[in-house]
Amino acid sequence: MTNNKRKNQGNKNKEVTMKPSNEKDTPIQDYEDDDIEEMQEADLKKLIRTLRSSQKQILELQKSLMDKIENLSRENEILRRNQNETKQLVQQETGIVTEVKNSIDQMKNTIESLTNRMGEAEERISDLEDREQERIQSDQRKEEEIRNLKHIVGNLQDTIKKPNIRVLGVPEGMEREKGLEGLFSEILAENFPGLEKDREILVQEAHRTPNKHDQKRPSPRHIVIKLSTVKHKEKILKCAREKRQITLRGSPIRLTADFSSETLQARREWQDIAQVLRENNCQPRILYPAKLSFVNEGEIKTFHNKQKLKEFVATRPALQKMLKDVLHTETKKHGHQYERR
C-alpha cells in the first residue's frame, strides 16, 4: 500500500514538474488537500510562486479593468455631458430656427404689407398723375381760352379804338385855354393847313389817359382823340408820316394810332427787327394792327408773327445774315420768359 502511494505521489510530482517554472500565464490548477500534503517543499514553493504570480496578474487585471471602467465612466460622463450640451444646442438651434421662421414670417407679412401699400401708392400716384395731367390740360385749355379772350378783347378794343389818334408829348395843362379839341385843331393848323380846313374831320371825343396824372411821372399823359371816321384818322397819320416832324407851338410831338395794350406789345416786339431792316434800306413798316412789312429783293413781304418771319429768313441767306443777331436775341429773350413762367 505504501509503495502504491509513493508511486502515485511520484506520478503527481512528475505532473507538477512538467509545467515550466518561468511561465507567467500558467493556469492555476485545482489541488485537493491530500495532494498538497503529499507535495514536496520545492513543489509547494513553486506552487506558492505560481499562486502569487496569478494573484499579481489578477490584481493587475483587476486594476486594468478598474482603469477601463473608470475611463469608460469618464467617457460615459463626457458623452452624457456632450449629449446634454448637444440637446441644449439642438434646443437653442431649434429656438433660433423658430425665431428665424417667425422673423421670416414677419418679414413676409411686412413685405406683403409693403407690397400692398406700394400697390396702393402706385394707384394713388397714377390717379394723381392722371389728375395732374387733367389739370395741366385744363390749365392749357384755360390759358388758351384766356389768350383767345384777350385776343377777342384786344380786337374789340382795337375796333373801338380804330378811329382814335394818340398825341404824345403835349405838356400837362396846355389844354386849359382851348381844351383838348382846340389843341388838336391847333396841331392840324400848324402841321397840316389843308386838313384843318376840312369840315368833315370831326372830333367826337378827347381825353388824357390815364385819367389821373401821376406827379412822379416824367412824361405827360397821352391825349386820345376820337374822330368820326377811320378814314380821317388814316389820312391824318399818313400826312404825319410824310411830314415826319410834327410840332405844337414849335415843340416836337408825335401822332400815332391808338391800340390795345396787347396790340401795342405785339407792335413793340417788331421794333428791333424793324430798326435793323431800316438801317439796311428795306423800308420796314408796322401795319395795322401788328404786322411787319418790308421790301426784300424788290418784293413787299408781310408777316403776322415772328415764326413765319424766321421760316422765310431761313430761305434767304442775305436776310438771315442781316437779322441773325436780332432774331437770336429775341429767341433768348423768349426763352428766359418761358423759364420764369
pLDDT tens-digit profile of 97-110?
A: 888 888 888 888 98
For residue 39, the model assigns a pLDDT of: 58
For the cut 60, the answer to whether the pLDDT of residue 114 exceeds it is: yes
Q: What average pLDDT does range 213-242 have in this prediction? A: 84
Average pLDDT of span 72-79: 82
For residues 266-276, one letter each, b for 16 or more C-beta atoms within 10 angstroms of the residue's C-beta and e for the rest, the string is bbebbebbbeb
What pLDDT shows up at residue 244? 82
- Which amino acid is located at 76 in the chain? N
Whether the ω angle into residue 27 lies within 30 degrees of 0, i.e. cis, is no
Compute how many other C-beta atoms are within 10 angstroms of the C-beta atom of residue 155.
14
| Residues facing 201 on adjacent strands | none
Q: Which phi and psi angles does 64 have, rounded to 5°?
A: -60, -40
CA 255 to chain centre: 55
In tens, the pLDDT along 172-181 reads: 888 888 899 9
Q: What average pLDDT does the structure give for the chain?
A: 79
| Helices then strands, each counted (H, E), the chain | 10, 8
The helix or strand, by DSSP H or E, that contains position 208, with its residue range, turns out to be strand 203-209
pTM value is 0.49
Position 326, amino acid:
V
State the pLDDT at residue 38.
Answer: 60
- Whether residue 289 has a cis bond before it, omega within 30° of 0: yes
pLDDT given at position 29: 52
pLDDT of residue 161: 82
Determine the average pLDDT of the residues in 52-60: 84
Q: What does the block give as the cell for 200?
A: 368833315
The pLDDT > 90 percentage for the chain reads 3
pLDDT digits (tens, 9 = 90+) for 3-37: 444 444 444 444 444 444 444 444 445 555 555 55
What's the pLDDT tens digit per position in 141-167?
999 898 888 878 877 877 888 888 999
